[in-house]
Structure 1
Amino acid sequence: MGTIERLHTRAQKARRDPKTPVVSSVEEARALARSIAEGLSALSDDQRLLMLSNLQEVQATLEDRMASLETEMAQERVRIQAVNRGLNAQAGYRGGVASLRDHRRRKD
């Protein structure tokens, strides 16, 4: 079954290079799932077991990728929060400076 072998090969490449996608879109993932389901039903039990073991490797790769993406997202959230705190501090400083300037103008 060529679909599973191709997917397995893509998963292996994705393991070696984290920037390589296993699938490029949701539509592609759905089409692959349909193709795999149809293909598995036509195989013998032994062939089906072999193909399912390949799919387990694909699943492990996808789980690793998800964990990596979750870590990256958490790091980016921390960075965004730091930037927001900095922007809020800057806005507060600007407001304080403007208020001080207005106060000085009124005194004069």
Structure 2
Amino acid sequence: MDQKTETAVEVGPGGVPKGTKTSDCYRTDNIPTRFDNPEWFKTPYTKPQHPMYRTTAQVYGSKAPSVHTMPTCFHAKSQQFTQNLGVCGMYRNHSLNTAPDRAGI
């Protein structure tokens, strides 16, 4: 009899081996490193919920991310407006105050 030594592969969420990157399974386009490594995300602590009051958002949020739930493309927005606002300051309303004075009430 021939004995084969099988190494047990540790399987992570989504049924893929641990350490698998999103780019190993899908074609990705300009994604940040954190999206390429779903194991970096920590599964949030969830208190046991009564099944009658459990919402679908709680079910979805209690599962650890996998390569199948990570985004495969990333298109960042420009920060030009926010940078300009930091230089100029926030808008302040200098119009006439017509509300009654509530200090004496």
TM, length-normalised to structure 2: 0.21
- The structure with the greater share of residues assigned to helix is 1
TM, length-normalised to structure 1: 0.20
Structure (1 or 2) with the larger CA radius of gyration: 1
